[in-house]
């Protein structure tokens, strides 16, 4: 048995041991979660609290927005404010692209991933070189 065979054998053993130990650890966690009453109670309580939080936040935000619509007040409470945000909506992509090409060429971003995919699948592109590079691979099933 040469050195490479020894390494491959040891790697296979280490991978198997790792998988077994990971499975054992995950099973122990699952068993604990399933059987420990304190965990189950705390987990359910946390979920209930999260639902209560979501409901209260929604109600507070809806109330604040209603008040803003009624009287324009942005400060509803010392802990609740309405903030105004600018929102970008793209309504006509073709018109925007035409405008960008004429007025803001810097906004056109070179997408190297798309160019690479095109070159690898379709063929040559000026300024691109496709080469071959050797890389070692180890089979996952040893």
What percent of the residues of the chain are helix, what percent strand, and what percent coil, each to the nearest 5?
A: 65, 5, 30
27-31, 40-44, 49-53, 116-120 — which is least confidently predicted? 116-120
- Look at residue 117 and tell me if it is in a domain: no
**Is the CA virtual torsion 74, 79, 80, 81 positive or negative?**
positive
Q: How many CB atoms lie within 10 A of CB 63?
A: 13
Residue 1 has pLDDT above 80, yes or no: no
Whether 28 maps to a domain, the answer reads yes
The pLDDT score that the predictor gives to residue 23 is: 97
Q: Check pLDDT > 90 for residue 106.
A: no
Is 82 a domain residue? yes
Is there a domain that residue 110 lies in? Answer: no
- Which residue has better confidence, 5 or 123? 5
Domain assignment present for 36: yes
Q: At 48, is the pLDDT very low, low, confident or very high (cuts 50, 70, 90)?
A: very high
Domain count, the chain: 1
Rounded to 5 degrees, φ, ψ at 49 are: -65, -40
Is 35 domain-assigned? yes
In a domain, 96, yes or no: no
Residue 105 lies in a domain: no
- Average per-residue pLDDT in the chain? 92
Confidence of residue 2 (pLDDT cuts 50, 70, 90): very high
Max intra-chain CA distance, the chain: 85
Q: In terms of residue numbers, what domain contains 77?
A: 3-87
User: How far is residue 97 from each of residues 56, 61, 93, 106, measured CA to CA in Å?
Assistant: 43, 37, 6, 12
């Amino acid at each position: 048995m040469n050195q490479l065979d020894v390494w491959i054998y040891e790697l296979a053993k280490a991978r198997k041991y790792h998988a077994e130990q990971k499975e054992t650890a995950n099973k122990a966690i699952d068993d604990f979660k399933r059987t420990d009453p304190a965990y189950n109670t705390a987990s359910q309580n946390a979920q209930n609290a999260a639902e209560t939080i979501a409901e209260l936040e929604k109600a507070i935000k809806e109330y604040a927005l209603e008040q803003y619509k009624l009287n324009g007040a942005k400060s509803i409470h010392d802990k609740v404010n309405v903030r105004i945000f600018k929102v970008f909506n793209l309504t006509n992509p073709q018109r925007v692209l035409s405008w960008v090409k004429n007025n803001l060429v810097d906004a056109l971003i070179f997408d190297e991933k798309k160019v690479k995919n095109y070159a690898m699948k379709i063929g040559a592109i000026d300024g691109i070189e496709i080469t071959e590079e050797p890389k070692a691979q180890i089979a996952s099933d040893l």
